[in-house]
């Protein structure tokens, strides 16, 4: 179920790279790197928007699926999540070809895992 939700989110950014059909980890790393550098350009906005969309999707789907997609502590800002994502991608370069939504889930779950009974 989580994979389906991640794919739905990643399908919303297909216009960015029509040849691949989705934003991958390479794109996400570049965009979130720009956000961390406080670049006011498109890449930073794309990263932070992607993160916010992912958060909103997680909130919206929980009542329907009874699955908690994200287990973030209260008050974690999107800028901090950009740092979490970049760190994860830097530690897992072998995954950069994967869809950004999947990697965003993997990075946040790695940094903020849900309790065993919360997923």
Count the neighbouring beta carbons within 10 Å of the beta carbon of residue 55: 18
CA–CA gap between residue 55 and residue 71 (Å, rounded): 10
For the stretch 83-110, pLDDT in tens is: 999 999 999 999 999 999 999 999 999 9
Output the pTM of the full model: 0.76
What's 75's DSSP letter? T
Q: Pick the more confident residue, 73 or 18.
A: 73
Q: Is residue 116 part of a domain?
A: no
Task: Name the residue range of residue 52's domain.
Answer: 2-111
- Beta-bridged to residue 99, according to DSSP, are 24
What confidence category does residue 19 fall into, taking pLDDT thresholds of 50, 70 and 90?
low
On whether the CB atoms of residues 100 and 16 are closer than 8 A, the answer is no
Into how many domains does the chain fold? Answer: 1
Q: Using a pLDDT cut of 90, give the percent of the chain over it.
A: 54
Start-to-end CA span in the chain (Å): 11
Q: Is residue 118 part of a domain?
A: no
């Amino acid at each position: 179920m989580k994979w389906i939700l991640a794919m739905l989110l990643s399908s919303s950014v297909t216009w960015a790279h029509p040849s691949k059909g989705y934003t991958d980890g390479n794109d996400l790393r570049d965009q979130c790197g720009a956000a961390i550098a406080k670049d006011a350009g498109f890449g930073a906005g794309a990263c932070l928007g992607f993160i916010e969309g992912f958060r909103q999707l997680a909130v919206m789907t929980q009542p329907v699926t009874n699955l908690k997609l994200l287990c973030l502590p209260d008050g974690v800002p999107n800028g901090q999540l950009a740092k979490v994502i970049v760190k994860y991608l830097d530690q897992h370069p072998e995954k950069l070809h994967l869809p950004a939504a999947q990697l965003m889930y993997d990075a946040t779950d790695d940094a903020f895992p849900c309790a065993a009974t919360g997923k």
